[in-house]
Chain A
Amino acid sequence: MYGWMGTILRVNLSTGAITKEKLDENLARDYIGARGLASKTLYDELPPRTDPFDPANLLIFAAGPLTGTAATSASRYNVVTKSPLTGAIAASNSGGYLPAEIRYAGYDMIIVEGRSEEPVYLWIKDDQVEIRSAKAMWGKGTRETDALIRDETDDEAKIISIGIAGEKLVRFAGVINDRERAAGRSGVGAVMGSKNLKAVAVRGTGGIKIKDGAAFREAVLRNLAKIKSGPVTGEGLPTYGTAILVNVINSHGILPTNNFQLGEFAGAEAISGETLTRDLLVRNRGCLACPIGCGRVTEINWEGNRERGEGPEYESIWALGAACGISDLELITKVNFLCNEYGMDPITLGATVACAMELFAEGVLTVEETGMPLHFGDGQGLLELTRKTAMREGFGDVLAEGSARLAEKYGRPELSMSSKKQEYPAYDPRGSQGIGLGYATSNRGGCHVRGYTIGAEIVAAAVDPLTSAGKAKLLIDVQDFTCVVDSVGMCLFTTFSLGVDDVLPLLNAATGVDYTTESLLQAGERIWNLERLFNLREGLGREDDSLAPRLLQEPLPAGPAKGNVVELESMLNEYYQLRGWDNEGRPTGEKLQALGLG
Chain B
Amino acid sequence: MTRQAAGLVHLELAGVTVADVLQRLLASNPELKSHLFDGGRLRPDICILVNGRNIRYLDGEATPLDDDDTITIFRQVAGGAP
Contact = CB atoms under 8 A, between A and B. Distances in A.
A364 to B, nearest CB: 31
A314 B79 CA distance: 9
A248 B78 contact: yes
Given A294-B79, A454-B80, A492-B82, A252 B8 contact: no
A525 interface: no
Nearest to A467: B57
Interface in B62-77: 72, 74-77
B11 interface: no
Interface of A: 93-95, 231-233, 235-237, 239-240, 242, 244-245, 247-248, 251-253, 274, 277, 294, 313-316, 425-426, 448-449, 452, 454-455, 458-461, 464-466, 491-493, 496, 559-561
Contact of A240 (B6, B54, B57): B6
A508 to B, nearest CB: 26
A252 B80 CA distance: 15
B52 A245 contact: no
B57 A459 contact: no
A491 B51 CA distance: 33
A58 to B, nearest CB: 23
A542 B28 CA distance: 56
Looking at B2, B54, B77, which has the most chain A CB atoms within 10 Å of its CB?
B77
A232 B78 contact: yes
B41 interface: no
Nearest to B73: A251
B81 A464 contact: no
Contacts of A465: 54
A436 to B, nearest CB: 16
Contact of A461 (B6, B51, B76, B81): B76
Interface in B10-44: none
Looking at B47, B57, B72, B80, which has the most chain A CB atoms within 10 Å of its CB?
B80
B52 A236 contact: no
A260 B75 CA distance: 27
Q: How large is the interface on B (under 10, 10 to 19, 20 to 34, 35 or more residues)?
A: 20 to 34
Nearest to A463: B57
B78 to A, nearest CB: 5
B2 A242 contact: no
Contacts of B74: 247-248, 251
Interface in B43-58: 45, 47, 49, 51-54, 56-57
A111 B75 CA distance: 44
B52 A244 contact: no
A63 B20 CA distance: 54
Given A231-B75, A461-B76, A560 B53 contact: yes
Contacts of A233: 79
B6 A239 contact: yes
Given A239-B6, A492-B82, A459 B76 contact: yes
A459 B76 CA distance: 6
Contacts of B51: 560
Nearest to A311: B81
Looking at A233, A244, A314, A315, which has the most chain B CB atoms within 10 Å of its CB?
A244
A240 B74 CA distance: 14
25 contacts: A233-B79, A237-B79, A240-B6, A242-B82, A244-B77, A244-B78, A245-B80, A247-B8, A251-B49, A251-B52, A274-B2, A274-B6, A277-B2, A313-B81, A313-B82, A314-B81, A315-B80, A448-B81, A452-B80, A459-B76, A461-B56, A461-B76, A466-B53, A496-B79, A559-B52
B80 A461 contact: no
A461 B47 contact: yes
Given A236-B78, A240-B78, A464-B57, 9 more contacts: A245-B80, A245-B81, A251-B49, A252-B49, A277-B2, A315-B82, A449-B82, A461-B56, A492-B82
Given A252-B52, A253-B52, A236 B8 contact: no
Given A251-B72, A252-B49, A461-B76, A242 B6 contact: no
Contacts of A252: 49, 52
A539 B72 CA distance: 46
A425 B47 CA distance: 23
Nearest to B55: A461
Looking at B8, B56, B75, B79, which has the most chain A CB atoms within 10 Å of its CB?
B79
A492 B8 CA distance: 26
Given A274-B2, A461-B56, A236 B80 contact: no
Given A251-B49, A251-B52, A253-B52, A493 B57 contact: no
Contact of B79 (A93, A425, A459): A459
Contact of A231 (B8, B49, B54, B76): B76
A232 B77 contact: yes
B77 A236 contact: yes
Contacts of B72: 251
A35 to B, nearest CB: 13
Contacts of A93: 82
A422 B33 CA distance: 45
**Sorted from nearest, which 7 A-B pairs have the closest CB atoms?**
A560-B52, A236-B77, A242-B81, A314-B81, A315-B81, A464-B57, A313-B81
B49 A242 contact: no
B52 A561 contact: yes
Given A251-B52, A251-B72, A242 B57 contact: no
B36 to A, nearest CB: 14
Nearest to A561: B52
A240 B75 CA distance: 13
Contact of B6 (A244, A316, A496): A244
